[in-house]
């Protein structure tokens, strides 16, 4: 299922960037609300995990599309 270009498209272009944006908003509100350590952890760790996950999903989609075109 994770080798299908359609699934990787949804993950790479829609779901993971949206989750990265939402976690960045949560981290910033945590920092502004006074919980600085947890907010920085959310900003640095969680947001970057989603951002790099989107990057790797797009790379996997590119290779899956190239693999499909080579088969045809």
Mean pLDDT of the chain: 93
DSSP symbol at 33: T
Q: What is the pLDDT of residue 53?
A: 95
In this predicted model, what pLDDT tens digit does every residue of 4-38 receive, in sequence order?
889 999 999 999 999 999 999 999 999 999 999 99
Domain count, the chain: 1
Cα distance between residue 12 and residue 51, in whole Å: 9
pTM: 0.85
Q: What is the pLDDT of residue 3?
A: 81
Its domain, for residue 20, covers 5-71
């Amino acid at each position: 299922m994770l080798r299908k270009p359609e699934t990787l498209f949804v993950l790479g272009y829609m779901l993971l960037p949206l989750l990265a944006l939402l976690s960045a908003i949560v981290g910033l509100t945590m920092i502004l609300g006074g919980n600085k350590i947890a907010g920085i952890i959310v900003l640095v760790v969680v947001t970057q995990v989603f951002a790099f996950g989107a990057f790797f999903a797009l790379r996997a989609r590119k290779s899956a599309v190239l693999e499909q075109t080579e088969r045809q």
